[in-house]
Amino acid sequence: MTDGKPLRADAQRSRAALVAKARELFDTGEFFDLRYDDLAALAGVGTGTLYRHFPTRQDLAGAVYGQEILALGDRARELQATLPAHEALGAFLRAMVAHMNAHQGLARTLASLLAAGSGPSSGELIEGTRVLEAAVTDLLTAAIQEGTVRGDASAEVLAGSVMIALHGIGAAHDRPGWQAEADALITLVLAGLCSG
């Protein structure tokens, strides 16, 4: 959307190409080695198109971050629709760890952009955290109703604790063997949530 108007099909394709190319460069770690203007040619669009959609690197980083959050939210809903609630919760938490592992370059790039003050805005980060926490809350609510997750605390309270664990896992992704440690922590979290 631009100024409240839907984007034309060609503009949607251009925007998607820019986000996809930026996403690829984040994962390979080449985002900082590239002049911002050069991104347009790599994505197969004109420089004017780049600046029309994303006037700054921060805008582009925010779009990539937003796309990742939406994909994770979609994954949570898919799992909830296809698995028993407790299994869906476990599968989603493990999917989050797998996502962190598969996209370490993106995580490092976003962290570097944030440190430099040129990453997604704090508002975008807060919104992203809210979307993920809402997905975890929905999964927990279903598991509480199913009777497989303890009901002595609200789903919102439990989701806050789960999010802290996920943030800790994300912060530790540079440790040797972190994935095995992350899996062990997810197993512990799920056991702690278990109703019996």
User: For the segment 24-71, what is each residue's pLDDT rounded down to a tens digit?
Assistant: 888 777 777 789 999 999 999 999 999 999 998 878 888 888 888 889
At 149 the three-state DSSP class reads: strand
User: Do 126 and 167 belong together in one domain?
Assistant: yes
pLDDT for the residue numbered 1: 42
Give 3-state DSSP helix, strand, coil % of the chain, rounded to 5.
Answer: 75, 0, 25
Query: Who has greater pLDDT, 3 or 154?
Result: 154
Instruction: Please tell me the pTM assigned to this model.
Output: 0.81
Segment 133-150 shows an average pLDDT of 95
User: Do 49 and 66 belong together in one domain?
Assistant: no
4-17: pLDDT as tens digits: 566 678 888 999 99
User: Do 32 and 5 belong together in one domain?
Assistant: yes
Those residues whose C-beta lies under 8 Å from the C-beta of residue 96, and which sit 6 or more positions away, are 72, 166, 169
User: Do 133 and 184 belong together in one domain?
Assistant: yes
User: Do 114 and 152 belong together in one domain?
Assistant: yes
Q: How many domains does the chain have?
A: 2
User: Do 71 and 125 belong together in one domain?
Assistant: yes
